[in-house]
Amino acid sequence: MIGIYLILFIPLVGMSLQAFYGATPKAAIINLRCNILSLISSVWLAIDVLWNGSLFAFDRMFYIDSFNVYLIALTAFVGLTTSIFSGPYMQHEQDSGRLSPKRLKLYYSMYQGFMLAMYLVLTTNNMGVMWVAMEGATLATVLLVSLYRTPESVEAAWKYFILCGVGIAQALFGTVLLYFAAEQKLGVGGDALLWTVLHENSSSLDPAIVGLAFVFLLVGYGTKIGLVPLHSWLPDAHSEGPTPMSAILSGLLLNDALYAVVRCKMLVEGALNNHLAGHLMMGFGLLSFLVASLLLHRQTDIKRLFSYSSIEHMGLMTFAFGVGSPWATFAALFHMTTHSLTKSAIFVTVGHASQLAGTQRIEKIRGLILTQPKIGWGLLIGTVAIAGFPPFGVFASEFLVLVATMHDYPWITPLLLLGIGLAFAGLFRHIQAMVYGEPPEGQTPITANLWPVILHLALVLWLGLAIPDFLGNWFNQATLLISGGLPQ
Amino acid sequence: MSIADLNLYQQAILLLAGLIALTSFLMLGQSRLVRLVRVFALQGFLLALATAMAANVLNYPHLYISAGLNLLMKGILIPMLLHRLIRRLGLHRVMDTIEHPARVMMGGATLLIFSYYVSLPVINHSPLFTLNAIAVSLAVVLLGMLLMITRKQAVAHVVGFMSIENGLFFAAVVSTYGMPMIVELGIAFDVLVAAVLFGVFFFQINASIDSLNVDHLSKLSEVDK
């Protein structure tokens, strides 16, 4: 129980501490410590939920069940490993004169602010508060996108702000409609926006209004997932901001937005008794998946390349949640984990690679393995993992999605295979030249801490070979919760 | 059902809904930034009035707080902030050209009709005036988007963004008598922070492209050029 309060309290304290110490050399250590504490409390919370089942806190304002507790733990873990990477990385950026101490302070306090918003999205039981926290996450990160103050970064931040702001406003309209539908049944009062209350009464809600609400909620939160055609902010924001931020945006924010959509879908399915919500998600997901894998081929910036890969994977997850059978849901949850671990590892390596080459342009990054084998191999193995090669976890989860699709919608499977093939080709045509080949003259190794990368990729490898019992159990429980059945 | 069958409160809400939609159209056609901000302030004021009226007639005291917050933020604080920024950035004489104003207005009218069409399912279980109110608030949201699409000045984009928020707020007030207080406060906080951040961005954009014409923000593209 206390775990919930701690997980919200620690980033809050961290944020205020960084407002004072953010510009000093201690900032990186404080950031690291806050994230370690968050991880400990998230594990505590997870164990609590594992033993005692789902729990409420603070007058039902917070609700933890097996679905969100695993995402909280994942968020805390990726937040921690990224902060291990971010310390030396930001130091390097400061030393090379790209950032002033004042902006570093903004960076560190908003790092914690972003984590706070993420934990709030995941823990809250109130759909309105979820919206507020999601918007808060945009507000926390928007100034980080323009941290370098280059014309490109200002443009990216403006696009991010406007697109996500307008997008998420649609989700608020959806929330209002949901509240409207609930109020007719449950009466006026604060309870009608609680997810648990809505879920209990979902069968009695007016289907017409709830259906309308879901369209708005999907478009709203879908903007944050980066679903095509609402995705154009995502590659910009990922490529122009500091790299640790790209790692947490890709590894965490997208997941949490998808989490919000899935929560809404659970409500809507109960009210509608048809597959409208699922079909909408399948359509959007498939479109994002295919378009992004095509766009991968025409990228010139290494961070943009991997942001399109994020869109592609988020599309696949949205599709799988849309299919909605227990197997597909299990696969989607599994894919959420493997994708976040792999993608944040890749962004860490990409950060080092671009510091090494002094640029993010793909054509200028050459000979990574010859200059600094650790970074080169890290990037290569990470790409192999994200492209879905066995024995890595992404292969296992993508394979499960394929099997589940084969079972329910066999005619879509060829499209999925096509997308996976396209994405593979799109990634490797760029990566091959970057890791192999002759390094340009004067390229020298940099200090790089690749432990986060090794840890993440080892975990993904482990997940690909065998899902540990407790995690499998966890996925099963979450699947049961979302799809109403166990995969077998 | 004719309009005379409605009670006074409902008639007044309908009148305000009409006026709010009208202010949205006024913004759509207003090319001077200073006046645009003034019309926006008027919309905020009307919204606060509608909220206060709902609070009084329906006896939901917590709506008074929403009304006060709304008046303070959308009616006074944000317009003042925008005004000062316009002056400081020397934009008060800038005309934001609207290409094809007639088509934009026609588009706006189409959006209004579309909003009514979309909101029709709501009518089954609720009184006539809720349908009108929801349709108008959806229209205000869509008109805000249209405003953002047709303009080039960053200030106009912010006004469009904030008027989308107005539409949402109106929907919450008339259909559900406001959101729970905590959500309401959270939204107000978000809007306030967003307004401040927009101000910061004006300076950043101005420093980077030497104007606030966001059409010049075109360095990043989907694929290689």
Q: In this predicted complex, what is the ipTM?
A: 0.93
The answer, for B156 touching chain A at a CB cutoff of 8 Å, is: no
Closest CA to A67 of A346, A480, A486, A485: A480
- For B171, the closest of A146, A173, A211 (CB atoms) is A173
**What CA–CA distance (Å, rounded) separates A290 from A295?**
9
Q: Which residue of B has its CA nearest to A190?
A: B180
Spans of chain A below 50 pLDDT? none
Residue B68 has what pLDDT?
Answer: 92
What is the residue-level pLDDT of chain B in tens, covering all 225 positions? 566 777 888 888 889 999 999 999 999 988 889 999 999 999 999 999 999 988 888 788 888 988 999 999 999 999 999 999 999 888 877 777 788 889 999 999 999 999 989 888 776 666 666 778 889 999 999 999 999 999 888 899 999 999 999 999 998 888 877 788 888 888 888 999 999 899 888 988 888 888 888 888 888 887 776
Q: Among A401, A400, A258, A394, which residue's Cα sits nearest to residue A338?
A: A394
Is B40:B79 a contact under the CB 8 Å cutoff? yes
**Predicted pLDDT of residue A386:** 94
Please, are residues B218 and A154 in contact by the beta-carbon 8 Å criterion? no
Closest approach of A93 to chain B, Cα-based (Å): 20
Question: What is chain B's length?
Answer: 225
Interface test with A, best of B220, B221, B225 (most A CBs within 10 A): B220
Across the interface, which of A146, A179, A239 has its CB nearest the CB of B176? A179
Q: How many other CB atoms sit within 10 Å of the CB of residue A39? A: 21
Vertex A274: Cα angle to A270 and A277 (nearest 5):
80
The whole-number pLDDT of residue B126 equals 66
DSSP H/E element including A62: strand A62-64
Residue A413 lies in a domain: yes
pLDDT value at residue A188:
66
Cβ neighbours, 10 Å, residue A205: 23
Inter-residue contact B157 to B122 (CB < 8 Å): no
At residue A54, the pLDDT reads 83
Q: What is the pLDDT of residue B123?
A: 67
Tell me which chain B residues have a C-beta less than 8 angstroms from the C-beta of A158: 154, 201, 205, 214, 217
Give the domain range for residue A403.
275-488
Is there a contact between B223 and A299 if contact means CB atoms under 8 Å apart? yes
Angle formed by the axes of helices A393-408 and A451-465, nearest 10°: 40
Rounded Cα–Cα distance for residues A338 and A336 (Å): 6
Each as own residue / partner, the long-range contacts of residues A394-397 (CB below 8 Å, 24 or more positions apart, any chain) are A394/A335, A394/A338, A394/A339, A394/A342, A394/A460, A394/A464, A395/A464, A396/A334, A396/A338, A396/A463, A396/A464, A396/A467, A397/A331, A397/A334, A397/A335, A397/A337, A397/A338, A397/A339
Name which of A159, A165, A190 is nearest B161 (Cβ-Cβ). Answer: A165
Domain assignment of residue A59, yes or no: no
Q: Cα–Cα distance between A65 and A195 in angstroms, integer?
A: 12
What gap in Å lies between CA A398 and CA A447, rounded to an integer?
Answer: 35
Select the residue from A8, A154, A168, A205 to test the B interface by mutation, using most B Cβ atoms within 10 A.
Answer: A154
pLDDT value at residue A12 = 94
What pLDDT, on the 0 to 100 scale, is given for residue B3?
67
How far is Cα A247 from Cα A269, in angstroms, rounded to an integer? 33
List the 89-118 stretch of B: residues with Cβ below 8 A of A.
118
What was the pLDDT predicted at B19?
A: 94
Residue A443 lies in a domain: yes
Residues sharing a CB contact under 8 Å with residue A121, sequence separation 6 or more, in sequence order: A130, A133, A134, A137, A256, A259, A260
Identify the closest residue of chain A to B218 by CA–CA distance: A155
Q: pLDDT tens across A134-185, in order?
A: 999 999 999 889 898 888 999 999 999 999 999 999 999 999 989 988 888 8
- Cβ A277 vs Cβ A342: under 8 Å: no
Is the C-alpha dihedral spanning B172, B173, B179, B183 positive or negative? positive
Q: What is the value of pTM for the model shown?
A: 0.94
A283 within some domain: yes
Contact by Cβ (8 Å): A157, B194: no
| Contact across the interface for A193 and B180, Cβ inside 8 Å | yes
How many angstroms separate the CA atoms of A76 and A36, rounded? 8
The answer to the question of residue A385 being in a domain is: yes
Please say whether the beta carbons of A279 and A322 come within 8 A: yes
* Secondary-structure percent of chain A, ordered helix, strand, coil, rounded to 5: 80, 0, 15
User: Number of CB pairs < 8 Å for A and B?
Assistant: 143
Please name the amino acid found at residue A420.
I
A188 vs B contacts (CB less than 8 Å): 60, 176-177
The token pair at B131 is 């349908």
The distance of A211 to chain B (nearest Cα, Å) reads: 10
Chain B CB contacts of A62 below 8 Å: none
Q: How many domains does the structure of chain A reveal?
A: 1
Nearest CB to B220; choose among A155, A179, A180: A155
The first and second tokens of residue A82, run together, are 């990224």
Q: What is the residue extent of each domain of chain B?
A: 3-210
Is B123 within 8 Å of chain A by CB?
A: no
Residue A75: predicted pLDDT: 95
